Structure 1
Amino acid sequence: MAGDSEMNPEQVEEEFSVWKKNTPFLYDLVISHPLEWPSLTVHWVPSSPTPYGPDPTFNVHKLVLGTHTSGGAPDFLMIADAVLPTLASESNIAAKNDDPVIPKVEITQKMRVDGEVNRARCMPQNPVIIGAKTSGSDVFVFDYAKQAAAKEQEGDCVADLRLRGHEKEGYGLSWSPFKEGYLLSGSQDHKICLWDLSSWPQDKVLDATHVYEAHESVVEDVSWHLKNENIFGSSGDDCMLMIWDLRTNQTEQRVKAHDREINYLSFNPYNEWVLATASSDSTVGLFDVRKLTVPLHVLSSHSGEVFQVEWDPNHETVLASSGDDRRLMIWDLNR
């Protein structure tokens, strides 16, 4: 499979057209929604869906998106409603009445933010709280339930909180699933910052509780362990995968896990010892935390840099990866 650098725009468009033509045979449901500007982040709000008023067989799920205008227009952190059928079947979607409900995505709220949005994540204990990393050094925190009700805010960024500690922009961002308000961030300044949002200062500016420095290059990602409240991992352009312990504020393990940048890491939600990494060397790595020096397995079907990898929250052995080859790959380790 040729990578993007080897394909001209006509080939890319032809490949996309073939995929789009075959979507009815590949998926139960596909919704295509054009955005005015690219979004470098997309995140399901971790809250229960609400019934869709006109038709109880549909639910409303919420998404967090961002804009990347490259200075061509103001940037926004956005909330979208995704109206989806409770069961994605033909009989459910193809309603027989004269005014059928069509699954859709609709932007419902836009909050002004300073700089392009690199990544946005909701606090798991209180999903209306959103952390956002932008093209600036500060991390912004918004309570979208308290923000202006207007669909699109005007004027300057009015974040509920600014988190300081970094000197450059970045992408790594992770809320603790155990300790409410604990937020980790990794950036291009080679640093990892930790904030405790248990108390919000009146001036709406909060300095980092602790700054971790061990990476020799850009910290691409940070992620909390899903079974141990004191453990988190980090990865970077120095090809290093590191495991940290809050009790010592030191790395417990560090290993050169890939031949190129490690862009993302994800702990398995079922097995406390297993994690996955996404690398610019075109591979997804599977590791046992007890022995990081040798990967459990290397998944090598991508033809370009791999930027993200996530475990299925409902199946222990299923994960997904995406990359520069425009592929989203679903892996089942049991097969």
Structure 2
Amino acid sequence: MINEEYKIWKKNAPFLYDLAITHELDWPSLTVQWLPQKEVSQQGDINIHKLILGTHTSDQADEYLMIAKARLPNEDVEVNVSSYNQNNTQPGGIGNAAGENRIEIEIKMAHEGEVNRAVYNPSKTNVIATRTVSGEVHLFDYTKHPTKPENNTPRPDMRLQGLKGDGYGLAWNVKNENIIGSVGYDNKICIWDIEDKQLGENHTLQPLNTIEYHKKNVEDIKFHVYHPEVFATCGDDKLVCIWDRRESMKQPKFNVNAHFGEIYSLDFSPFNEYLFLTGSEDQTIGFWDMRNPSKRIHTFEGHQDHVLKVEFSPYNVGIFSSTSADRRVIIWDISKCGAEIQNEDEQDGPAEMLFIHGGHRSKVNDFSWNQKDNLVCASVEENNILQIWQMAQNIYDDEDDEPLRNQLGQNKA
């Protein structure tokens, strides 16, 4: 069934994508994030991007935090889609007319256990934080590490302690480059100030704040885009908690029993200080306003399994993504909520469902929006696969949909 769906996807891919590249990694990655830098080749036809990846070998091999280089076609250069070869998917695909697309691992840093999550510091993009299986958060300045480790002994630049055991939630403060938070399956929330000079042996650092409020696993943490002292957490107790570090850390500013199932992910809007999203085990996505958190604005339905991650587009107002255990990534358009569906489109889902990426054959572990190339995305799945893709322009560039075209054309400054 899954392989048949994949064959259908490959057959239709040239009509659905302006860019679609499948690359097989040596091991699965639980994490992916575009770094914000972009270079242009001397010929001007290739954009060179970098991605953060990690390994998950299930103790079968050494683990690594990795920086990958991706060579993608310049969107201003015309590509002949007819050159797409359905049978060649690694590397290659749509947008690979000249055979110039390559994904290669540029830097490997030895890591203690699998890399559950890896995120760069928005203010110091060479500094990457990783969530380990032991509970520690490790910091790496990848510019100070060799391209390949001299031996396989992990050498993080800093070890942030306070959590125990597994966990995935990890986030930098968008406004304060020294503040980072993580959560875990010990039901705790920890916040650190990496400028704290009280380092222990082996460059260890204790948390600035430790919070024990959630009654079950804490799954995710995000800092507010506009207010540096505000952050949110969510967990298996079905709660979303909004915290303010200027107030008591014993109780959240407010909490919401937000879903019927465990809550795995949340995200604040980069364009509106009041709006946020939640993704849940109950297969739905909640859309919320902090001014009235007791009432959900809208429920997005379309996934057939747990929603594992939600993420607003960094440049398009009202556009966000969701990833799921159902092997799908869905791109949503909030402005379409409540719109009438034409009869011929009924089978495609609700009006707000802009695009379904169906190229994965196993659970989608993570997703990232590219901040330099509009609507270019990266996603990783359990079966060692990294995909880089961009939906076809004709899908959103509809003459009858002027507001959407304007919105998708507006890049965030």
Give me the TM-score of the superposition, normalised by structure 2.
Answer: 0.74
What SS does the corresponding residue of 2:33 show, helix, strand or coil? strand
Q: CA deviation at 1:261?
A: 0.7
Q: Secondary structure at the match of 2:330?
A: strand
Determine what percentage of the aligned residue pairs are the same residue: 39
Q: Does 1:18 align with 2:8?
A: yes
Contact 1:282–1:304 (CA under 8 A) maintained in structure 2: yes
CA shift for structure 1 position 297? 0.3
Q: Deviations over 1:47-87 (max 9, x none)?
A: x301224x322121110000000100010001001111221
- On the 8 A contact 1:112/1:153 being kept in 2, the answer is no
CA RMSD of aligned residues (A): 1.7
How many angstroms apart in 1 are the aligned matches of 2:159 and 2:191?
13
Q: SS at the partner of 1:291? A: coil
Name the SS of the counterpart of 1:18 in structure 2.
helix
Q: Secondary structure at the match of 1:259?
A: coil
In the alignment, what sits opposite 2:410? Answer: none
Matched positions, count: 318
The aligned counterpart of 1:77 is 65
Picking from 51, 62, 77, the partner of 2:40 is 51
Aligned partner of residue 70 in structure 2, secondary structure: strand
Q: 1:59/1:273 Cα in 2 relative to 1: closer, same or farther (>3 Å)? A: same
Q: Secondary structure at the match of 1:102?
A: coil
Report the equivalent of 2:246.
Answer: 247
Matches of 2:234 and 2:102 in 1, distance apart? 36
2:187 to 190, 199, 219: 190
Query: Contact (CA 8 Å) 1:264, 1:308: kept in 2 or not?
Result: yes
Name the CA distance, whole Å, in 2 between partners of 1:88 and 1:15: 32
CA distance in 2 between counterparts of 1:131 and 1:194 reads 13
**Matched position secondary structure for 2:60:** coil
The whole-number CA distance in structure 2 between the counterparts of 1:139 and 1:91 is 42
Q: CA-to-partner distance for each residue in 1:207-246, whole Å, 9 max, x for gaps?
A: 1111011100000000001111110000000000000001
* Cα distance in 2, alignment partners of residues 28 and 290 from structure 1: 39
1:298 maps to 299
The 8 Å contact of residues 108 and 147 in structure 2, kept in 1 or not, is answered as: no
Displacement, 1:135? 1.5
SS at match of 2:19: coil
Aligned to 2:343: none
CA distance in 1 between counterparts of 2:15 and 2:49 reads 25
| Counterpart check, 1:284 vs 2:285 | yes
Moved more, 132-141 or 118-127: 132-141
Instruction: Report the counterpart of residue 388 of structure 2 in structure 1.
Output: none
In the alignment, is the contact (CA less than 8 A) between 1:57 and 1:92 conserved in 2? no
1:7 — aligned with what?
A: none
5+ residue gaps in structure 2? 84-96, 337-413
List aligned pairs for 1:209-228, cutoff 5 A: 209-228=208-227
Q: Which amino acid aligns with 2:320?
A: L
**Residue pairs, 1:1-335, within 5 angstroms:** 11-46=1-36, 48-53=37-42, 55-87=43-75, 90-91=78-79, 100=98, 102-150=100-148, 152-199=149-196, 201=199, 203-248=202-247, 249=249, 250-335=251-336
SS at match of 2:287: strand
**What is the identity, as a one-letter code, of the residue corresponding to 2:115?**
V
Distance (whole Å) between structure 2 residues aligned to residue 64 and residue 255 of structure 1? 33
Alpha-carbon contact 2:106-2:147 (below 8 Å) kept: no
1:141-162 Cα offsets, whole Å, 9 max, x none, are: 1000001233x55221111111
Q: Distance in 2 between matches of 1:12 and 1:153?
A: 41
Shift, 1:89, TM fit: 5.5
Whichever residue aligns with residue 218 of structure 1, its letter is N
2:221 maps to a residue whose letter is V
Stretches (4+) displaced over 3 A = 88-94, 199-203
Runs (5+) with no aligned partner, structure 1:
1-10
Larger mean Cα displacement after TM superposition, 248-257 or 192-201: 192-201
Considering Cα pairs closer than 8 Å and 6+ residues apart, tell me whether 1 or 2 has the greater RCO. 2
CA contact under 8 A between 1:29 and 1:88: conserved in structure 2?
A: no
Structure-2 separation of matches of 1:241 and 1:84: 38
8 Å contact kept, 2:62–2:152: no
Q: Partners of 2:171 and 2:80 in 1: how far apart? A: 36
Q: CA deviation at 1:92?
A: 7.8
Inter-partner Cα distance in structure 2 for 1:77 and 1:251: 34
What letter corresponds to residue 113 of structure 2 in structure 1? G
Code of the residue aligned with 2:226 in structure 1: it is K
Aligned to 1:3: none
Q: CA deviation at 1:88?
A: 6.5
Shift of 1:176: 0.5
For the 8 Å contact 1:264–1:307, the answer to whether it is kept is yes
1:6 maps to what in 2? none
